Chain A
Amino acid sequence: MWSYIFRRLLGLFPVLIGITLLVFLFLQLIPGDPAQAILGERGTPEQLEALREKLGLNRPLYVQYLTFLKSVLTGDLGTSAVSTIPVADELKRRWPATFELALAATLVAVALGIPVGILAAVRKNSLLDTLSMSLSLVGVSMPVFWLGLLLVYLFAVNLHWLPTGGRLSTDLAIDFRPLTGFLLLDSLLALRGDVLWDALRHLLLPALTLGTIPLAILTRITRSAMLEVLSQDYVRTARAKGLAERQVILKHALKNALLPVVTIVGLQFGTLLGGAILTETIFSWPGIGSYIYEGILNRDYPVVQAGVLVVALAFVLVNLLVDLSYALLDPRIQYR
Chain B
Amino acid sequence: MKRAVLGLLVALGLGLAQKTLVFGANGEPVSLESGNITDGISIYVQRQIYDTLVDFKPGSTELTAGLATSWFSSPDGKSWTFRLRQGVRFHDGTELTAEAVKFNVERWWDPKNPTRIDAAARYEIWPELFGGFKGDPGSILKEVQVVDRYTVRFVLSQPFPAFPAAIAAGYFGIASPAAIQKDGARYGSPTGSAVGTGPFRLVEWRPGEQVVLEKNPNYWKKGFPKVDRVVFRVIRDPAARLAALKAGTIDFTTDIPPANLRDLEADRNLDPVYRPSFNVGYLALNPSHKPFSDPRVRQAIAMAINKKAIVQAFWGKLGVTDGHFTPPSMKAFQSPKVTDYEFNPQKAKALLAEAGYPNGFEMDLWYMPVSRPYFPTPKEIAEAMAADLSAIGIRVKLQTKDWASYLNDRKQAPGFQAYMLGWTGDYGDPQNFYDPHFACPITDLFDASGKTLCVKELGDLLTKAATSANAEERKRLYQQADELTHSLALRIPIVHSQPLLAKRKNITGWTPSPLGSESFETIEKR
Contact = CB atoms under 8 A, between A and B. Distances in A.
Interface of A: 30-34, 36-37, 39-47, 50-51, 54, 79, 82-85, 90, 93-94, 149, 152-153, 156-157, 160, 163-167, 170-171, 173-174, 281-284, 286-287, 290-291, 293-294, 297, 299
Nearest to A291: B208
Contacts of B22: 170
Contacts of A47: 122, 124, 127-128
Rank and list the top 5 A-B pairs by shortest CB-CB distance, nearest first: A32-B404, A286-B208, A37-B404, A32-B405, A36-B404
A44 B128 contact: yes
Given A41-B423, A286-B207, A174 B231 contact: yes
Nearest to A45: B443
A177 to B, nearest CB: 10
B255 to A, nearest CB: 14
Contact of A36 (B121, B229, B407): B407
Contact of B247 (A41, A157, A294): A157
Contacts of B247: 156-157, 160, 163-164
Contacts of A30: 402
Given A31-B401, A84-B118, A174 B204 contact: yes
B240 A40 contact: no
B207 A32 contact: no
A82 B478 CA distance: 36
B402 A165 contact: no
B408 A166 contact: no
A145 to B, nearest CB: 9
B266 interface: no
Contacts of B120: 54, 79, 84
B366 to A, nearest CB: 13
Contacts of B405: 31-33, 36
Contacts of A174: 203-204, 212, 229, 231
B27 A294 contact: yes
Contact of B404 (A34, A85, A167, A283): A34
Given A30-B402, A284-B233, A164 B207 contact: no
Contact of B209 (A46, A282, A286): A286
A164 B204 contact: no
B239 interface: yes
A164 B22 CA distance: 14
Nearest to A285: B208
Interface string B280-292: 0000000000000
Contacts of A164: 240, 243-244, 247, 249
Nearest to A152: B243
Nearest to B210: A173
Contact of A42 (B207, B231, B436): B436
Contacts of A166: 209-210, 233, 249
Nearest to A163: B249
Interface in B179-222: 189-190, 203-204, 206-210, 212
Interface residues of B, number: 51
Describe A's contact surface by its main secondary structure: helix
Contacts of A297: 236
B128 A42 contact: yes
A85 B207 contact: yes
A76 B443 CA distance: 39
Contact of B210 (A82, A84, A170): A170
Contact of A85 (B20, B190, B210): B190
Nearest to B118: A84
B72 interface: no
A40 B407 contact: yes
11 contacts: A31-B404, A31-B405, A34-B404, A47-B122, A84-B118, A85-B189, A94-B207, A160-B247, A165-B249, A281-B237, A282-B240
Nearest to B27: A294
A291 to B, nearest CB: 6
A40 B122 CA distance: 14
A283 B239 CA distance: 10
B156 interface: no
Contacts of B127: 44, 46-47
Interface string B434-451: 001000000100000000
A44 B136 CA distance: 15
Given A32-B405, A284-B235, A284-B237, 12 more contacts: A31-B402, A32-B401, A32-B403, A42-B38, A45-B443, A82-B30, A83-B189, A164-B249, A173-B210, A284-B233, A286-B206, A286-B208
Given A157-B246, A163-B247, A284-B233, A83 B31 contact: yes
Contacts of A160: 247
Given A94-B208, A163-B247, A294-B28, A152 B240 contact: yes
Contact of A283 (B28, B203, B229, B240): B240
B243 A153 contact: yes
A170 B20 contact: yes
Interface string B32-47: 0000001000000000
Contacts of A44: 127-128, 443
A171 B249 CA distance: 11
B169 interface: no
Contacts of A45: 443
B222 to A, nearest CB: 27
B65 interface: no
Nearest to B409: A32
B31 A293 contact: no
Q: Of residues B31, B120, B121, B229, which shows the largest number of chain A Cβ atoms within 10 Å of its Cβ?
A: B120
